[in-house]
Structure 1
Amino acid sequence: MALAFVFPGQGVQRVGMGKSLVKAFPELREFYAMADRLTGRPISKLCFDGPDDELTLTINAQPAIFTTCFVCWVLVAERGLQPKFVAGHSLGEWTAVAASGALEFEDALRLVAKRGELMHQAPVGSMAAILGASLAQVEKLCQAAAEKGVITVANYNAPDQIVISGEVTAVEYAVQIARQFGAVKAVPLKVSGAFHSPLMHAAKEQFRFYVEQTPFKAPEVPIVANVTGQPVTDGDALKRLLVEQLTSPVRWADCVRTMYEQGVRVFVELGPGRVLAGLVRRTVPDAVTFCVEDPKSLEETLNALDSM
């Protein structure tokens, strides 16, 4: 049965992530030590012990989540699991890139750290999840809220969950009026930036320079890209899409459908939480999902896959 590895993005961070993995598999500590060295910040301490408010800062959260998701991938890869596709949600796409072989861990980590730094410096913004409304309804919601400022669709997460992003006043107004546009619920997200919106334009243009200076190889496993929802097998195309992603919507539901249409029935989420597993099942209800985030879930996943 065909597998896909999927990697979560910003928002899944929590104090303690990776700690039990490093305790059970001490060789993984080197990846966290490299994150500390390359960023000049205590990424390993923030992951293992917090505090939460510092871990949550974009500049810290991005290298922290990337490193934790990568070590989860190392464990399943060493045990012989081979995916047909890899994909990641927003920041998670960078872990997919490293897992695909297009970049070495160190080069990917360096770019992730720069990405987090530039996004941290971007203008203040906000995001909110709109639940239960169609894409057409959410687009009309954004048009109505645009009188208050910049606002756009940022993530097509699942058929019943779409995330909007933009200036704080516009997003707050959209949350207030969302029910008028078919939403069952509107939930502000705990972020300080308007990710995947025009407010990230300056960050994108600066980030482009660093990405273009970094040599990419052709991925050994196709990456299903956030920007297009389609597989990518060319290193140069991948570089372009990773830059464009900063101001483009994440077409996660399209990514999931593409992998499903290509024969994937089992999705293994590698990293903290089970956010993507839930979104996968809401998009293709008969998909089988597993999550690897600690030694217990690793063992459970490997045993279940062995018996399939």
Structure 2
Amino acid sequence: MKVALLCPGQGSQFVGMGKEFWNLSISSKEKYDNASQILGFDISEISFNGPDDKLKKTQYTQPAIFIHSYIAATELKNKYDIQFSIGAGHSLGEITALTIANSISFEDAVEIIKVRANSMAEAGNINPGKMAAIIGATNKQIDIICNQTGIIVPANLNAQGQVVISGEIDAVNSAIETAKSIGIRRVLPLNVSGAFHSPLMSSARENLLKVINSTHFKDSDFPIIQNVTAEPAEKSDEIKKNLISQLENPVRWSQSIEKINDLGIIKFIECGPGKVLSGLNRRILKKSINFNIGTPQEINEFKA
């Protein structure tokens, strides 16, 4: 049976993530060491010991999730010789999926993530913003909620009835009040350092453009459904263009999963911390078969 790779994004992190791999695998230790040299700080120390407030910061969260997810997927592939038919990653996770598909090297991916995370954090300082999850709203209600003065957009189209909005602080605060006034019971402000996947990230684009254009990309070993288009891409030029556009545009996650289903694939393996994407899958595609791989034990217990 064909299987899809899923790689999580920001919000899936937790203190201690990846430590079991580090304890058991020399190659995993080498990946953490290599990444730390590129990043200029000890990412294993922050991943394993936090504190949580530090790990939540974008410049630490993104590489920590990437390394954990990459190691989990690589160890799984090596043990069972799994060949992914297609892949997708949520925001940051798209870079992870591209790395596992050998479009970019591990070291180049860490460098891209370093620039991406720092530039996104800086953009959050230049153009302060916030994000909030709106649970249980229809598409029409989302339009009403986002009809505010100022910059505000639907940023993560995660599943039917689960949308994240992103924009200027006052606009998002007004949107939260609007949501409550029209009967939306669950509105959750997110603990992030900026208005990701919105026009407020425009100042981060130039740095990301430079590092991506200076990085050698190859055609991917298997197609990756990219966030911006919710369509499969394999050619390096298309991959690069969509990866740059991702910063300021919505993550079309539910469409991405539906596209994978349209291709006849219902088995998904989420590699990395947490089970966020598997949870979304059950909302988007009730017949989906989902596996979570985040520890060596889960790899040993895996049965396709």
TM-score range for the pair, normalised by the shorter chain length: over 0.9
What whole-Å deviation, never above 9, does each CA across 1:183-217 have from its counterpart, x for those lacking one? 33111111121000010011013211111111210
Paired residue type of 2:84: P
- 2:189 maps to 1:188: yes
The residue correspondences of 1:105-144 to structure 2 (distance < 5 A) are: 105-122=106-123, 123-143=127-147
Q: Which residue of 2 aligns with 1:29?
A: 29
Residues in 2 aligned to 1:62 and 1:297: alpha-carbon distance in whole angstroms: 23
Q: Which residue of 2 aligns with 1:267?
A: 268
Question: 5+ residue gaps in structure 1?
Answer: none
Paired residue type of 1:65: I
Q: What is the CA-CA distance between 1:139 and the residue it aligns to? A: 1.9
What whole-Å deviation, never above 9, does each CA across 1:266-285 have from its counterpart, x for those lacking one? 11000000000001110000
Alignment check: 8 A CA contact 1:140 1:181 kept: no
Alignment check: 8 A CA contact 1:217 1:235 kept: yes
Q: What stretches of structure 1 move > 4 A for 4+ residues in a row?
A: none
Using a 3 Å threshold, how does the CA distance of structure 1 residues 139 and 63 change in structure 2: closer, same or farther?
Answer: same
- 2:169 maps to 1:162: no
The residue correspondences of 1:1-308 to structure 2 (distance < 5 A) are: 1-79=1-79, 80-122=81-123, 123-143=127-147, 146-147=148-149, 149-181=150-182, 183-300=184-301, 302=302, 304-305=303-304
Paired residue type of 1:92: G
Paired residue type of 1:22: W
1:179 aligns to what SS in structure 2? Answer: helix
2:266 aligns to what SS in structure 1? Answer: strand
Alignment check: 8 A CA contact 1:90 1:226 kept: yes
Paired residue type of 2:140: A
Q: What is the CA-CA distance between 1:181 and the residue it aligns to? A: 4.2
Residues in 2 aligned to 1:6 and 1:181: alpha-carbon distance in whole angstroms: 34
TM-score when normalising by structure 2: 0.96
Paired residue type of 2:265: V
What whole-Å deviation, never above 9, does each CA across 1:146-176 have from its counterpart, x for those lacking one? 22x3111101000120000011111122112
Residues in 2 aligned to 1:172 and 1:74: alpha-carbon distance in whole angstroms: 42
Alignment check: 8 A CA contact 1:35 1:44 kept: no
2:146 aligns to what SS in structure 1? Answer: helix
Using a 3 Å threshold, how does the CA distance of structure 1 residues 31 and 173 change in structure 2: closer, same or farther?
Answer: same
Paired residue type of 2:139: L
Question: 5+ residue gaps in structure 2?
Answer: none
Residues in 2 aligned to 1:140 and 1:240: alpha-carbon distance in whole angstroms: 31
What whole-Å deviation, never above 9, does each CA across 1:223-267 have from its counterpart, x for those lacking one? 001001000011000000000000000000011000011011111
Alignment check: 8 A CA contact 2:133 2:165 kept: yes
Q: What is the CA-CA distance between 1:54 and the residue it aligns to? A: 1.3
Decide which moves more: 245-254 or 16-25: 16-25
Q: What is the CA-CA distance between 1:182 and the residue it aligns to? A: 5.4
Residues in 1 aligned to 2:138 and 2:229: alpha-carbon distance in whole angstroms: 19
Decide which moves more: 201-210 or 176-185: 176-185
Q: What is the CA-CA distance between 1:179 and the residue it aligns to? A: 3.3
Q: What is the CA-CA distance between 1:180 and the residue it aligns to? A: 3.7
Alignment check: 8 A CA contact 1:93 1:226 kept: yes
Alignment check: 8 A CA contact 2:116 2:207 kept: no
Paired residue type of 2:73: W
Paired residue type of 2:3: L
